[in-house]
Amino acid sequence: MELDGKVIVISGASSGIGAAAARLFAAEGARLVLGARRAQMLDALTSEIGESGGTAVSLAGDVREEAYAQALVGRALDAYGRLDGAFNNAGIVGEMGALAQMSLSNWEAVMSTNLTSAFFALKAQLPVMTAQGGGSIVFTSSFVGYSNGGLPGMGAYAASKAGLIGLVQSAAADHAADGVRINSLLPGGTVTPAGGQDNPEFLQYISGLHPMKRMAAAGEIAQAAMFLLSDRASFMTGSPMIADGGMSVRLL
């Protein structure tokens, strides 16, 4: 089992990639703390994992609040006595449109959810992992924030995800000697509620942009996250690992 006995926090766990990761990580032996804003969906997933023989507890809240990042870590310590990994996956796309017409409220919402929340997560998770002598932290970024990955109408999203890659690389350099690995995962288009799964025309259009001519299933991205959290990635830190169906190649 790839994650046997590891205690892992997952944010954005109520649906999409986060929920797929929760199911996969639990099946691979992890003990989980699940976080998201939607308490009812979070509770249902936690119960599902328990009924399937896995181990999970949950705590609903907003990743834009520093106290919530601390509370998720506290929940892990209270339930399991340690913290071995974190999949910081919560994020939003925000309103799409030209920057000149973008509202400040949209810019701030995207930045606080996608980037400032990562700062809060690191502040909460790093001291515990450093004191333990190691751990693994993974953030969900995007090919949209990577080299040649820009798409029109996604200025705030691209800026937040590019900033996240930079934050991860700096933090990884700071804490590599502490045994804490910090990486970012860059998915391509993924079929999720936020990714237009109920809009066949949109899915067909986005699928056609990928050289593989399809979008990822949420479980495929969860597999990539599991690799980064597992001991198989023991010599990887500061990496922007791409799992984008060839999108970054197409845009070169």
Residue among 68, 146, 157, 205 flagged as catalytic: 157
Length of the chain: 252
CB < 8 Å & 24+ apart, contacts of 42-45: 42/13, 42/14, 45/13, 45/14, 45/19
Check if 80 is active-site: no
DSSP codes of every residue in the chain:
-TTTT-EEEEESTTSHHHHHHHHHHHHTT-EEEEEES-HHHHHHHHHHHHHTT-EEEEEE--TTSHHHHHHHHHHHHHHHS---EEEE--------S-GGG--HHHHHHHHIIIIIHHHHHHHHHHHHHHHHT-EEEEEE--GGGSTT---TT-HHHHHHHHHHHHHHHHHHHHHGGGTEEEEEEEE-SEESTTTTTT-HHHHHHHHHHSTTSSPEEHHHHHHHHHHHHSGGGTT--S-EEEESTTHHHHT-
Is 6 within 8 Å of 30 (Cβ atoms)? Answer: yes
Q: How far apart are CA 13 and CA 17, in angstroms?
A: 7
Point out the residues that are catalytic: 157
